[in-house]
Structure 1
Amino acid sequence: MKPLLFLYILLGVWFTNAQGTISGNFSPAKDFKWLIAYELTPGGERYVTDTSIKEGTFTLTMPITAQPGMYRLVYAVPQDEFYIDIIYDKKEQITFNFSLDQGLNITSSKENKAYNNYFNAITEAQDQLMEYYENGNTSKEKFKTLTVNLNNVQKTYEEKFNGTIAHIFIKANRPYIPGQYESLELFLKHKKTHHFDHLKVNDEILQGSNFLTDKFSSYVFSALPLTINSAENLDQEVIKNIETTANFINATPISFQVKAMHQLWKIADVNAMSNVADYIFEHHLKKLAIANGNQSMVNEITMASRLRIGAISPDISWQKNGKTHSLSTMDKAENYLLVFWSSTCSHCLKELPALHKELKKFNGLKIIAVGLEDNETNWKKVSATLPDFNHTIALGKWESEYAQTFGIQSTPTYIVLDNEKRIIAKPESDKELIDFLEN
């Protein structure tokens, strides 16, 4: 064989083995236009490539530099909601179908089929064991059958897919399996004790995926005593779990610690666990984020905490009849309404006059209107047509102090306070505002 021809063949084999594709179909086709691939890293994600989706069909040719691991395929915004996570091993030609109704169906990929089939099988086996407890069953023979099945599922997948990327997740997910009958209380105690036994916290593929952060979240918010009898007690137990988790990951890269703690903070925040969210931020996340150069995260969380439901509103002041007035010293009312608007906002000019009239029927309501303006000229004219509002101006518009303090991104924005001036609602429209006040 001629040397040059041999070289071409050799290079062709190398490129074939070093480069793969991800292709498939999205349905309904009209709802999907583009797809972006990101490599998931311990601290976030890294752009890899993108493609258009034409009539529901796409093909992503992965670059030779793409490394084996977990990849996120984003198909809409916000991208932290509309995505598909895929294992890419640098060799497989992966194909799948995705439907808004049916979800994800892997049609070709040993790695991804193994991953999905394993988690379906192990979840079903674990659910059967929990149903045994929930039904009050105490048969030791039935218990043994269920735990043997659970062990067999785990062992089968570990052996069958050894050497794959999916195996990393399968082995790390090995659940606690009792060797003999245990009461529910003892089982949950041991399950919590052994929660971290198989988690390879320093594995970069695991760090990049959602696997570890989901495991931490499950531990922090679910591995709890059966005897919790108050919200305060719940907060205390969750905080203990947070400290255990923080100690477990303290030798990992700071970027990963930020990712893990931010996930815990978001769950606490969404579930209105304010004390827990504040604890995570003040004792862990804030200093980690600063050390990681992520001041924007600190600023965002500080604002979110300041404006969360249940928080006392930041103060607002205004001038009237030569005197300074403020929200904090305002006379007692059943409710307070903060309206952030602008005299140059066409939507505001259309909506506020009608709303001004509609709000007259709420006798226990006091209203403060904050004009986000570049100058006073137009604001003075328009605000004078809304006499039932207490008016103040915020010069600098989006960069003004009040816009920054209250995180205003559009006008009009409404915030409703209770009689203690705590935030109780953030209606997204005038109609939603009226519905809230009426109900």
Structure 2
Amino acid sequence: MQKILIIALLSYFTGFSQYSISGKLDPSENISWVLLFKIENGEEIYLNNSEVTDGEFDFKIDATEKPGILRAYYDIEQRQFVEFLFNKENVAFEFDPNSPMLSIAYKNSRENEIYRNYYTEIYGLQKRLDTVQMAYFSNQDQSLNAGLEKKYKENLKELKKAQSKYESLSNNTLAYHFIKASAQYNAPEPIKIPQEYLSEAKLHFFDALDFKDEILKNSTFLSDRMIDYVFYLNQAENMLAANDLQSQAIRDIEDKIALDPALKARFYQNLITEYLAKDNAVMAEKILKKYEQLAPEFQNRAFIAKTKEDLKTAVGSQAPEISWTDLEGQKTLNELTDYDYYVIAFFSSTCSHCQEEMPIFHDYILGINNLKVIAIGLEDENSFASYNTMTENFPEFINIMESEKWESHLVKSYGISSVPSFFVLDNEKTIIAKPGDVEEIMRLFGTD
């Protein structure tokens, strides 16, 4: 996903009934439409759309629209957008959709330019400071330490000067809130031991943030920073250790937002989404319990229902039961005991990818003695014949046909939205992986 914050903060003129948000994509990359959303309480709300003509698009914003962050999506499926802050003024910019961060340019937004210049300058200065700190970690020659310490302090002084300059330039604007909140803590002198450096970073991570700032709360800024704190400052070599570290990090944040249930609800929702994306069912369930303890008015029942469905097939969860009938009678997944691993494969005989991958998969498992495949064909009355023909070549699979296709109860139980889809289970029928294709399964079990 490509993403950039474009801050457009201009003075209010009461004489305008509408404001213009115009942009140009260069090259246009065959983009036909741009969709405009606003961010309100961390959520995207659709505003308008504009056709792209010769790479150009234009939106009209009603004068009653409140100042805040807007997003112009130029590829909604890939979530590619430019993000800017509307403050009761016309905004015009152009960018290359392949590299918006590097190419963005503004025509009539001084404050936008201030924020962009801030980002560019601060990023460069911070990178220089970090380079010295990294050298200080690895330096074994004590005679060089004094020089590194001096260089570090010089760079730190320059960084603080730049931060102060941009806070002054953006004073009394919405951009100021983001610039001030972006100030990163740096120790007054370089730290020799990496673990001490990490501890300092954690201790001071939120120094520049005001959790009561309504402008930050209405954007995604606070939410993004909280997620960064949990996941990027609290990593470990294994999941159990990472879960412990991240649980403490979550408690740290809960202490800071204890009196703000709306922000806490958003924090929990973001955590659950992240943990599900990482297939960490243990932490997703843990946070879901916290979320359900909030007052009802701060809960999203649809989100809770979807999360519970997703948890059924998250890595670490017990696979939903499957039953079928063969010549020996009624069988179930949980009754199978003869193998170390099981793969549940959803496919359809009319799916071109399935037609290509499933025969390869069947031939591959012939050399694996401790693996059994339960192949579930999603079919309808028009594909019964092709299913029977296809599965004649899969004698090593347990073949199950679901005649209701996408309405099948197994489709709903496993959350299937496309085929082929695969789930790898251990001998306890716990989901241990969800490979994207047959090649990934082959890498899991070895390709020899």
TM-score by length of 1: 0.81
* Alignment partner of 2:177 out of 168, 192, 201: 168
Residue 21 of structure 1 corresponds to 20
1:209 aligns with 2:207: no
> In structure 1, which of residues 79, 86, 93 is the aligned counterpart of residue 91 of structure 2?
93
Aligned to 1:147: 156
- Quick one: distance in 2 between partners of 1:337 and 1:24? 49
Find out whether 1:329 has 2:335 as its counterpart.
yes
Query: Taking structure 1 as reference, are residues 289 and 302 closer, same or farther at Cα in structure 2, changes over 3 Å only?
Result: farther
Alignment correspondent of 2:307: 301
Does residue 1:233 correspond to 2:238, yes or no?
Answer: no
**Partner secondary structure for residue 104 of structure 2:** strand
Residue of structure 1 in register with 2:422 after alignment: 414
Aligned to 1:83: 81
* Letter of the 1:340 counterpart: F
Q: Is the 8 A contact 1:311 1:422 kept in 2?
A: yes
Matched-pair contact (CA < 8 Å) for 1:373–1:379? no
Instruction: Please show how residues 53-92 of structure 1 align to structure 2 within 5 Å.
Output: 53-78=52-77, 81-92=79-90
* Residue number among 398, 401, 405 corresponding to 2:406 in the alignment: 398
Q: Which whole-Å CA distance do the structure 2 matches of 1:134 and 1:33 have between them? A: 46
Deviation at 1:168, TM superposition (A): 1.0
The yes-or-no answer on 1:361 pairing with 2:344 is: no
Q: Is the 8 A contact 1:151 1:177 kept in 2?
A: no
Q: Distance between the aligned counterparts of 1:44 and 1:289, measured in 2? A: 20
User: In the TM superposition, what is the alpha-carbon distance from 1:186 to its structure 2 partner?
Assistant: 5.3
Task: State the SS of the aligned residue for 1:22.
Answer: strand
> Which structure 2 residues correspond to residues 104-119 of structure 1 after superposition, within 5 A?
104-108=103-107, 109-119=109-119
**Count of residues in correspondence between the two structures:** 420
For residues 9-48 of structure 1, the aligned pairs below 5 Å read 14-16=14-16, 19-48=18-47
Query: Residues 349 and 425 from structure 1, CA distance in 2 versus in 1: closer, same or farther, beyond 3 angstroms?
Result: closer
Give the Å deviation of 1:155: 0.6
Aligned match of 2:376 = 370
- CA drift of 1:379 comes to 7.8
Q: 1:96 to 1:352 in 2, by over 3 A?
A: closer
Q: Tell me the distance in 2 between the aligned counterparts of 1:115 and 1:147.
A: 20
Q: Could you tell me how far 1:403 is from its partner in structure 2?
A: 1.3
Q: How many Å separate the matches in 2 of 1:158 and 1:357?
A: 63
Verify the 8 A CA contact 1:342 1:348 in the aligned structure 2: no
- Render the CA deviation track for 1:82-134: whole Å, top value 9, x for unaligned: 11111111114322223314644122222322222222322333333332221
Q: CA offset at residue 393 of structure 1?
A: 4.8
Instruction: String of CA shifts for 1:111-166, please: whole Å, max 9, x gaps.
Output: 32222222232233333333222111455433331221221111100111111111
Q: Aligned with 1:62: secondary structure?
A: strand
SS, match of residue 423 in structure 2: strand
Aligned residue number for residue 259 of structure 2: 251
Return the alpha-carbon distance in structure 2 between the equivalents of residues 128 and 417 of structure 1: 47
The residue that corresponds to 1:4 in the other structure is none
Deviation at 1:36, TM superposition (A): 0.9
Matches of 1:43 and 1:358 in 2, distance apart? Answer: 49
- Counterpart residue type for residue 184 of structure 2: P
Q: Is the 8 A contact 1:341 1:370 kept in 2?
A: yes
Looking at structure 2, the residues matched to 186 and 377 of structure 1 have their Cα atoms a distance apart, in angstroms, of 63
* 3-state DSSP of counterpart to 1:30: coil
Q: Aligned equivalents of 1:221 and 1:282: distance in 2?
A: 20
8 Å Cα contact 2:106-2:112 kept in structure 1: no
Seen in structure 2, the aligned counterparts of structure 1 residues 366 and 193 have a Cα distance that, compared at 3 Å, is: closer
Are residue 242 (structure 1) and residue 240 (structure 2) matched? no
Change (3 A) 1:191 1:30: closer
Deviations 1:260-280 (A, max 9, x none): 223333444444555444433
1:280 aligns with 2:262: no
Question: Partner of 2:141 in structure 1?
Answer: none
Deviations 1:376-412 (A, max 9, x none): 9948982874554324454654343211110112344
Q: Which runs of 5+ in 1 are unaligned?
A: 1-12
The answer to whether the 8 A contact 2:314-2:431 is kept is yes
Counterpart residue number, 1:196: 206
Q: Measure, in 2, the Cα distance between the counterparts of 1:346 and 1:124.
A: 50
Q: CA deviation at 1:217?
A: 2.0
Two-structure CA RMSD over aligned residues (Å): 3.6
Deviation at 1:245, TM superposition (A): 1.0
Aligned equivalents of 2:238, 2:365: Cα separation in 1: 41
Q: 1:69: Cα distance to partner? A: 1.2
**Amino acid of the residue matched to residue 263 of structure 1?**
N
**Distance in structure 1 (CA, Å) of the matches to 2:35 and 2:324:** 48
Give the stretch that moved more between structures: 379-388 or 395-404. 379-388
Matches within 5 A, 1:218-229: 218-224=228-234
Within 2, Cα distance between the matches of 1:353 and 1:36?
Answer: 39
1:308 Cα deviation from its structure 2 partner: 2.8
TM, length-normalised to structure 2: 0.79
Distance 1:132 1:432 in 2: 40
Identify if the C-alpha distance between structure 1 residues 381 and 21 changes in structure 2 by more than 3 Å, giving closer, same or farther: closer
**Deviation string, structure 1 residues 305-335 (Cα, Å, up to 9, x no partner):** 3323454422212122352222222132254
